[in-house]
Amino acid sequence: MAIQPQWAARRIHFELNLSAVHINADHDQLNQVWTNILSNSIKFSPEDGVIQVSLEQDTRNVIVRISDKGIGISAEDQKRIFERFFKADRSHSPSFLEKSVLARLLIKLSGDPYEGLPFDDETKKQMRMIMFKNLYNSSMMNEMEHIYTNFKAAEPLKFPKELPLILFVQAENADVKGWIPLHEEQATDSVHGAVIKLDGGHYLHHTHSKEIVEGFRKYMKDFELVS
């Protein structure tokens, strides 16, 4: 492996428990992920340290565990690791996402956001190139650095009561508990609030632009009648 000189120089020992598994994935991208995570583990391990790597498969998942004796995550940060967008240390920073290609891998595994758009293949290819080109630019990185604190700061805020408010939301989102009630509660902040549910993925503006336009026009027409 390319990282062998790193662990050899620090006299790092590996304890391996690797079961035979079957997975359908991108070999090169996964190799890059494991290489960068192991490099990070070697970097923060003491000399003559031990890194444990295990691989197993249950009925639904392939599970990889990598553990070392490095600095780890503080007890205080461990309480918050499941909070959305929380960043404990620099290993969770945007630069880590860039170097480990985890962001690209997650995008690839989550499906093509441009697949359902009414454009030819060449146009979609250009759109993907622009997306990946801007994935790690300074504006995006700055937003990601502060996204957790911004979300927390926005939680107690409410929409102005007289503000016309229409929310187009994904009808089903099993990943977020209380997804629809959350948006319905936001809509009640405004006396003109409305929630329109659409069947589809996260990028509704890509796949339901016509329905969104029609829904907005109807909302504005009804709003004008009430005003």
For residue 177 the two structure tokens come to 């508990």
SS3 57: strand
Q: What is the pTM of this model?
A: 0.43
Per-residue pLDDT of the chain (227 residues; tens, 9 = 90+): 567 777 787 888 899 998 888 888 877 778 878 887 888 788 888 888 899 999 998 888 888 998 888 777 777 777 776 665 555 554 444 455 555 555 566 566 556 667 767 778 888 888 778 777 766 666 665 665 666 777 777 878 888 998 999 999 999 888 788 899 989 999 998 988 999 999 988 778 878 889 999 999 999 988 886 66
Number of domains observed in the structure of the chain? 3
CA 157 to chain centre: 24
What is the structure's pLDDT at 121? 84
What is the structure's pLDDT at 218? 92
What is the structure's pLDDT at 98? 53
Same-domain status, 86 and 153: yes
- Please choose, from the candidates 216, 218, 157, the residue with its C-alpha nearest in 3D space to the C-alpha of residue 190: 157
Same-domain status, 36 and 83: no
What is the structure's pLDDT at 104? 60
In degrees and rounded to multiples of 5, residue 60 shows phi and psi of: -125, -25
Same-domain status, 66 and 80: no
Report the C-alpha gap between 168 and 204 in whole angstroms: 8
Same-domain status, 45 and 82: no
CA 173 to chain centre: 15
**Half-sphere exposure at residue 1, Cβ-oriented, CA atoms within 13 angstroms:** 12
What is the DSSP track for 84-112?
A: TT---SGGGSHHHHHHHTHHHHHHHHT--
Domain of residue 81 covers 74-157
Same-domain status, 170 and 219: yes
Q: In which residue are the tokens 């089903």 written? A: 172
SS3 46: coil
Same-domain status, 49 and 85: no
What CATH number has the domain bearing residue 33? 3.30.565.10
What is the structure's pLDDT at 58? 84
What is the structure's pLDDT at 7? 78
Same-domain status, 79 and 4: no
Last-in-domain residue among 107, 130, 157 = 157
Last-in-domain residue among 142, 157, 172 = 157
Helix 102-109, helix 27-44: angle, nearest 10: 140
